Structure formats: C-alpha cells, structure tokens
Structure 1
Amino acid sequence: MITKKYFSVPTVLSIAGFDGSGGAGIQADTKTISALGCYAMNVLTALPIQNTQGVKAIYDIPTEAVKEQLHTIFDDIYPDAIKIGMVHSIELVELISQFLKDYTGKIVFDPVMVSTSGHKLIQDDTIQACKELLFPLARVITPNLDEISVLTGKKIDNTDKMQYAGEALLQTGCQAVLVKGGHLVNPILTSYLIQRDGNTQCYESAHIDTVNTHGSGCTLSSAIASYLAQRQTLTEAVKQSMDYVYQAILSSKDLRIGKGNGPLNHFHQPKKLISYEMDR
C-alpha cells in the first residue's frame, strides 16, 4: 500500500494596515512573506488612504471586525510567526494583546507611529498601551529613529543614542529591540539588535541614493517574521532580512513608480513556497 505524503508550509500572519498603492502595510507584508517562501495571511486593522506621496486620511476598521478576522484565521491556520504593524487605537491594542496572550509562535512588532513626513499617526495613550500590552509579547520590536525618539521621549540621532535607547526599551518587557538606522545621514547606515540576554549585534550597509524606500519598515519586519517562521534564530533572521531589504531597495533604486517615494522591489529574487514533510 502506498502511503500518501503531506507537507506543511511556514505560515506568517500580518496584522497591519492597508496601502492601496501597494508599497507598504499588508501589501508589502504579503509580497515579502511570499517572496521569502512562506504562506501569507492578513488581518486588516486600519484603512489608510495613501500613496507614494503620503497618508491622506485613516479610516477605522471596527474592533469587532478585527476580532472576527483573528478568530477566523486561528480557527483554520495557526501562524508560525506574526508581524504586527499599524495598531492605532487603545481598543485594538487591548483586543490584539488579549487574543495573543497565549500564542506560542514568534511575534515581530513594527511600531508604526510616525509618518514619513514626521507626523504622529497614533495618540500618546495608544503608544503607552502598546508599550504596556504588546511589547512584552514581542520577540523583537523594530522601531526606526523617529519611532524610538517618540517611545523614549528623547531625540535619537546617532549610534551611541541608538544603543542607549534600545537598552531602555528592553525595560518594557520585550525580548529584543532592533533599532533601525535607515534615517541616519551617513554613507554607512548602522542598525543594532539589542537582546535581553546581553547580546548586541551591529548591522551595517551602504546608503543607497534613491527615493524608493516606501514600505521598507513593513518589509523588514515581515521578512524577520518570515525567517523566524522558517525556524531561524533571531540573530540570523535579522541578518538575512537586512540583506533582503538592502537588495530590494538596490534593485528598485532607478524605478519610477508613482510621484513620491516609490516601493521596493520585493520580488528581486523570489523563492518557491517552502514545504516540510509531515509525520503521519
């Protein structure tokens, strides 16, 4: 008798906002997760009206609708890893944190708090709720310089301050902080992965002269979640994700998509869907 083989795939859930122009939010997450060989799922938390030139408005998704989305996904496909992006109300923070309190996979939280133009996208009380309720659930949080400045209440604009701020954020209960240096005005961009166990890794890359960086934060965080879903260590997942984003920006630097900050080339070197043979 021939025994039929079945295969599982690494699954990644993106809990994030929408981007109709396709470069950020759940669109960037889905492209990234798929390009890295994982199976992508989505829970929509907000409907920003945006394009490559900026965010025009943000419409709420009813909290009950977010709750039903989460239950429906988990009832069917349990995610190996989760990326959390835009969570712009206290009610959503409370809902998501309560729902995920017993989740056994890895969570990557990209604290989307400041727009490219420098405007805060969520209120101070929601930021505090994120720190108290979502940060402790995260395997890693991935703030850029604007976001970590908001989170610490101090202007973070050089590598020394980046390390200090990352260590300070560990006090919120998260296991690790990746302080991204993409906004540094340097020929070499430096990011730091600071972990609760005392280990700190430094990642460096050359600055790329391009405006096509729309959605780079979403892309990086969903890439980390994808590699964690593939059972890599956090250190290796961050390294490979930084390399992926660098190549995605490099291969899109001369493209003209839209009138503002264009998207990355998520499919510069796509992988086939990864599968693992299941024990029967």
Structure 2
Amino acid sequence: MQVVTTIAGSDSGGGAGIQADLKTFQELKVFGTTVITALTAQNTRGVSGVLPIEAAFVKQQLQALLDDFSISAVKTGMLFSSAIIHTIAQIIADTNIPLIVDPVMIAKGGESLLQQEAIDAIIHYLLPIATIVTPNIPEAETLTGKKINTIADIKKAADHLLATGVHCAIIKGGHLADATNATDYVFFKNGQAFSMQTPRIATKNTHGTGCTFSAALTAFVGRGLTIKEAIIEAKKFIQLAITHDLALGHGHGPTNHFAYQNDKKSCEVTIYES
C-alpha cells in the first residue's frame, strides 16, 4: 500500500481541498495522509470564511508524517500564505519525494484563497523543487505575468514555468474558448510535449476539478506510473468525475469521485504528440 500526502485546505462542503483529495486517494487505492493549511467555511455557492493554520503547526503536521511513513508522492493545494509555502519548501527540499503543485488561488465562486505575496513564494521556492505544476489558464497567467489567448501563448507560459526548475508543466485549457473539447497541454523540461483532449461536458458542477485532477495525478505517481502515464490516467479520472456529476447543492456542485472505477475502460483521451 503506497502512502501519499496532500497539503491543502479543508473544504467543509466536501467537493474540493483535503476532502476531495482523500476521496480520490481512496478510489485509487493509495493511503492518504494530510497536512491542513487552512479551514474554510464553504459550500457549492462559495466561501464564507477562511481560518489559516499557523505555519509552525503546518510544519509539525508534515514532520510527523515524514517521521513515520514512507511517502511516495506529495501534492499541494491551497497554501494561503508565503510563510506556509516557505515552511513546506524547506522540508520537502530535503527529501526525494515527487511533488505535485496545484497552485490554488481562486475558489470557484471567485474568492481569493492565496495571499498576494504567496504567489512569489510559489514561484521562487516551491516550483524549483516541484516535479509537476498543474495551473489552469488564469493561474498560469498569474504565475508567469503573461496573457494567454492562443496555443502559442500557452507554450510561452509553459517555457516560463519550466525555467523555474519544475520538471513538468500541465496547463489546463478548460478556460479556453472551445465549446467542443477540453484540452490540456503538457510540457517537459527535456523539450517533450503532448496534449490531451476529451469532450467538453456542459455542466456547472465543476467544484474541485483542479484538486481532484492533481490528487489523481499524485496517486498515480505514488503508485509508480511514469509521469506521462499518470497524467493521462488523471485526465480520465477527472473526465469521468465531471461526466457523472452528483448534482448536489445549489451552486457549483462537486464532481463524482466514485465514477472512475466503474467506467475507466470506456473513457478515451485523445493524445496529440508534439
């Protein structure tokens, strides 16, 4: 049984954050451990409160895990502050554990989940030690300072991210104006690249998609898949989770973390090598 860790915020609505990560880990047959960076009061309609955890206690949580478990992969989600990011980076830098960074900045309802000074900390301290970073278009624009409207813009943004030291950048294309397909773009530091395409699903129930995708990626990396294999399987996981949404709540409902095991053989991802 592989052990993986999520370092993220708690979502009281259960659709994103720590809760989404643990559901994904369970479905993918890895043992999930947690480091909680903040508590949130939220539901499908939005975030009504955030209570950050002190960086010293974040450190204590992470160190407790490393002192006891052999962890095969770590992901970060909502990190909130530069102090928390510094703390995590200092500890993870002394390990050889693959690190997947989901640069969570804005909740689905538009609320900020990351302090402004924390963005620089992600760029200068977390990405240089990361294996994979998984921004959507707005997050990639914030991290790079580059506006993204075209595929060429995506390539430039990816080059900017790879220059920080991260091994692989996945820029998720869900915000691009394509009514037919959802295409994600994957770039490696060695120059290799490919894109993944699935049909776009017409639904408002997309709360926690970024958390769920990166958690699935973490689970597959932790299980020993190659990075490319893990990325493709994680794309299948989130595609099925969106396709078979649960229709819960009155806002942006959660995805279905239980769909993959039943339908994974039927889910097709079109791969375009670059």
Distance 2:68 2:36 in 1: 17
Alignment correspondent of 1:76: 68
User: Conserved in 2, the CA contact under 8 Å of 1:159 and 1:190?
Assistant: no
Alignment correspondent of 1:132: 124
| Candidates 247, 252, 256, aligned match of 1:265 | 256
Distance 1:183 1:12 in 2: 29
Secondary structure, aligned partner of 1:172: coil
Alignment correspondent of 1:182: 174
Number of residue pairs the alignment of both structures matches:
261
Q: Deviations over 1:56-92 (max 9, x none)?
A: 2211112221111112111111210001111111111
| Candidates 125, 139, 143, aligned match of 2:135 | 143
Alignment correspondent of 2:230: 237
Alignment correspondent of 1:214: 207
TM-score (norm 2): 0.92
User: Conserved in 2, the CA contact under 8 Å of 1:111 and 1:142?
Assistant: yes
Structure 1 residue identity aligned to 2:36? L
Structure 2 residue identity aligned to 1:76? D
Does residue 35 (structure 1) correspond to residue 27 (structure 2)? The answer is: yes
Q: By how many angstroms is 1:160 displaced?
A: 2.4
Structure 2 residue identity aligned to 1:195? F
Q: Deviations over 1:113-163 (max 9, x none)?
A: 123244543233210011111001111000001101111222223322112
Identity in percent: 38
Q: By how many angstroms is 1:110 displaced?
A: 0.2
Q: CA RMSD in A?
A: 1.4
Distance 1:235 1:24 in 2: 24
- Which range moved further: 114-123 or 243-252? 114-123
Distance 1:121 1:40 in 2: 23
Distance 1:118 1:171 in 2: 29
Distance 1:236 1:141 in 2: 16
TM-score (norm 1): 0.90
Structure of larger gyration radius: 1
| Candidates 211, 222, 247, aligned match of 1:256 | 247
- Which range moved further: 122-131 or 24-33? 122-131
Secondary structure, aligned partner of 2:207: coil
Structure 2 residue identity aligned to 1:155? K
Q: By how many angstroms is 1:36 displaced?
A: 0.8
Distance 1:129 1:17 in 2: 18
Distance 2:259 2:198 in 1: 18
Distance 2:119 2:33 in 1: 25
Secondary structure, aligned partner of 1:146: helix
Does residue 101 (structure 1) correspond to residue 93 (structure 2)? The answer is: yes
Secondary structure, aligned partner of 2:149: coil
User: Conserved in 2, the CA contact under 8 Å of 1:37 and 1:270?
Assistant: no
Please list every run of 5 or more consecutive structure 2 residues that lacks an aligned counterpart in the other structure: 263-274
Which fold has the larger relative contact order, with Cα–Cα distance below 8 Å and residues 6 or more apart in sequence? 1
Please list every run of 5 or more consecutive structure 1 residues that lacks an aligned counterpart in the other structure: 1-8, 272-280
Q: Deviations over 1:236-265 (max 9, x none)?
A: 10001001110111111xx32001011111
Does residue 205 (structure 1) correspond to residue 204 (structure 2)? The answer is: no
Secondary structure, aligned partner of 2:194: strand
